[in-house]
Chains A and B, each alone.
Chain A
Amino acid sequence: MSEVVPEPRQKPTVPAKPTCANISMGSQLLGYVGIDTIIEQMRKKTMKTGFDFNIMVVGQSGLGKSTLVNTLFKSQVSRKSSSWNREEKIPKTVEIKAVNHVIEEGGVKMKLTVIDTPGFGDQINNENCCDPIEKYINEQYEKFLKEEVNIARKKRIPDTRVHCCMYFISPTGHSLRPLDVEFMRHLSKVVNIIPVIAKSDTMTVEEKHDFKQRVRKELEFNGIEFYPQKEFDEDMEDKAENDKIREMMPFAVVGSDKEYQVNGKRVLGRKTPWGVVEVENLNHCEFGLLRDFLIRSHLQDLKEVTHNIHYETYRAKRLNDNGGLPPVNNPDSEEQHESNL
């Protein structure tokens, strides 16, 4: 005997029923159906599964990479290398160090991986600097491809692909160095590159502006497409928004994890004899813009471009080559391969 069951209405999440008809393209809806609750359903599902994000920082040592990452994510995600003893050996080749963290905010859990590249640009002969990095990036794509190609696949393939590579440009005030150009030219095809002008508190406003123009021109001249890439703009809205961002890049940033008292408020900044450089003050540096751009509006887009474009390119190339494998085998599988022939 079914009595009147109290209507199981989800209160705050379901939007109120509009009484007017919703005109649609194709079919006319004569009342509220509830299709738009799929947004809520999707949101709940994604909050349950959580996100992961992998960011790689590349630049010569001493440019403030670790400090910037710590400032961005407001926690000690990277151990600063300034605590190094200079007597310790400088790495002979570029090392790749990946550190994982889980951070949570507002019910959203994110597994953040920061990939550091100590030793980049530090040797006397920097010819092969890009190679270990490119190899690492391709290795991650390879791992993902292997998982995807499996017959019995995992429900959720762990994503270790590099979603974003922040390249630190030293604030010489002149132009890009040949190493910068080489690196960015190679890697802009396999990963999303976001160029950043580090330690920008050494430049005045005019110097900053000129430097940025020059850097942009040089990037364009060398055919380097940094994120957000022009060719991936989906529609006019996107294009307009991204154009605005592209005009402002590369962002000139300052990182700091120390707080100082300014005008009665505690702000993150760098204290100098002539004043305090506030990190979050848009007049002082563009950190706020970088953070909003990177985290608050384009985080998902970075992941999507990596998955839909860079990964697909890698996959297509890999499946086409069909034997021309990049040097990412481990010795056992190589032996097995040879024994299979």
Chain B
Amino acid sequence: MAATEIARQAGEGVRSLPLSGHVGFDSMPDQLVNKSVSHGFCFNILCVGETGLGKSTLMDTLFNTKFEGEPNSHSQPGVQLKSNSYELQESSVRLKLTVVNTVGFGDQINKEESYKPIVEFIDAQFEAYLQEELKIKRTLHNYHDTRIHTCLYFIAPTGHSLKSLDLVTMKKLDSKVNIIPIIAKSDAISKSELTKFKIKITSELVSNGVQIYQFPTDDETVAEINSTMNAHLPFAVIGSTEEVKIGNKMMKARQYPWGTVQVENESHCDFVKLREMLIRVNMEDLREQTHTRHYELYRRCKLEEMGFKDTDPDSKPFSLQETYEAKRNEFMGELQKKEEEMRQMFVQRVKEKEAELKEAEKELHEKFDRLKKLHQEEKKKLEDKKKVLDDEVNSFKQRKTAAELLQSQAQQAGGSQTLKREKERKNSGFL
């Protein structure tokens, strides 16, 4: 076996020991794989290309399943990204597949800003991962990785050359994601035109310095395949989910009056090659490249932007900590300021409310006083009237008693007969 990284890292002072029996750690890869399998894998594909180039159909064909969704319209105001997630399972392997489609790419009249939403989306996924990695309490091993592992760029089958939109977009994306260019709907091009087209495209990419994903050739088992495949880039593919009976088998194909194009026939299109390369040989490498190259690049740029510096190996964590500390103090200071402000506002509001309440109280008091006064006046009036009445009653009583007295005196003087008669008369008067 070729020298492995371990041996290289081991350096001096490390002895290679012979084993005198079977220890059993050759089951390590199996243990690792079992753990990963139980965890599940995830793979995220970004499909970039103009509307109507067959992106969704190709995804359906690649993964042999019918993803939901209807074809998108051509009248979108700007480029949007729509992502759909699917859970696929094959034997014991669970794959969380996310397909992100660009909607409205290349449809606008002014396409200058077309690439921006895509770049922002990719950056956003990196950012989310970076945030998670920088957290103090983090759960990286359970994190659902949404970083884009590969970008399938769909080239329109004009047969001439790359469009300028394609060149610009690919140039912007090549440092952020693994780009695999594909010629879509390649049944529109004849064989000879196809070869010329491919050569033209490759030379244009090279002359513009666009770095597309090269299949890795350092592992012997796949080096051969990968290097032959590298020569066939970009793949000319056809997608189809309809099955047509050819010979005595049902195969995926597109039927025309002049013949049938078989998707899985290597002489008709490169679909099988794409599937081999994308899924069966290099899926893991794509994920690794994304993590070790593109993500690390993003992280480096972002951290340098944020002001962390990597100057001296000795002062690394300290500068990081100092920056952390400085930021933290800043943050705490801001928090305190805000707290003060809020407190002051609160105090002010309380004062205002108090003043209002006092006003109200005063008013109430006044009202109460007024009412009381009114009440007293009325009472006085009533008392006066009562007094007058009492006086009248008293005077009446006096007159009555005086009159009765006079009468009784008169009668006593007049004789008792008349009194009796008067009495009787009075009594008979009453009966």
Contacts and interface: CB of A to CB of B under 8 A. Distances in A.
Contacts of B192: 1
B288 to A, nearest CB: 7
B300 A296 contact: no
A51 B267 contact: no
A158 interface: yes
Contact of B219 (A44, A46, A307, A320): A44
Interface string B12-40: 01111111111111111111110111000
B20 A75 contact: yes
A265 interface: no
B388 interface: no
B88 A27 contact: yes
A181 interface: no
Given A27-B87, A33-B62, A105-B22, A299 B28 contact: yes
B272 interface: yes
Interface string B160-192: 000000000000000000000000000000011
Given A74-B20, A102-B10, A25 B89 contact: yes
B93 interface: yes
Nearest to A43: B29
B221 interface: yes
A150 interface: yes
Interface stretch (A3-11, A123-131, A187-195): A3-11
A287 to B, nearest CB: 13
A162 B195 CA distance: 57
Interface in A1-45: 1-5, 7-8, 10, 14-15, 22, 24-39, 41-45
A5 B268 CA distance: 11
A195 B90 CA distance: 41
A304 B38 CA distance: 14
Given A8-B276, A44-B221, A158-B9, A152 B41 contact: no
Given A8-B276, A27-B65, A41-B285, A102 B315 contact: no
B15 A340 contact: no
A204 interface: no
Interface residues of A, number: 93
A244 interface: no
Which of A35, A76, A107, A297 lies at the interface centre, i.e. has the most chain B CB atoms within 10 A of its CB?
Answer: A35
B70 interface: no
A37 B267 contact: no
B121 interface: no
Interface in B270-289: 270, 272-273, 275-276, 279-285, 288
Contacts of B95: 35, 38
Given A2-B191, A4-B266, A41-B281, A73 B325 contact: no
Contacts of A320: 136
Interface residues of B, number: 98
Nearest to A312: B138
A101 B23 contact: no
Interface in A139-160: 145-146, 149-153, 155-156, 158
B300 A102 contact: no
A35 B25 CA distance: 27
Contact of B28 (A26, A51, A156, A291): A51
A203 interface: no
Contacts of A43: 29-30, 32-33
A263 interface: no
Contact of B63 (A33, A155, A340): A33
Nearest to B67: A27
B317 interface: yes
A104 B62 contact: no
Given A1-B195, A149-B320, A22 B25 contact: no
A122 B308 CA distance: 47
Given A49-B4, A49-B5, A336-B318, A153 B296 contact: yes
Contacts of B267: 2-4
Contact of A297 (B4, B31, B304): B31
A322 interface: yes
Interface of B: 1, 4-7, 9-10, 13-33, 35-37, 41, 62-67, 86-93, 95, 136-138, 140-141, 191-192, 195, 219, 221, 224-225, 228, 232, 266-267, 270, 272-273, 275-276, 279-285, 288, 292, 296, 299-300, 303-304, 308-310, 312, 314-322, 324-325, 328
Interface of A: 1-5, 7-8, 10, 14-15, 22, 24-39, 41-53, 72-77, 100-111, 145-146, 149-153, 155-156, 158, 291-292, 295-301, 304, 307-308, 312, 315-316, 319-320, 322-323, 330, 332-333, 336-337, 340
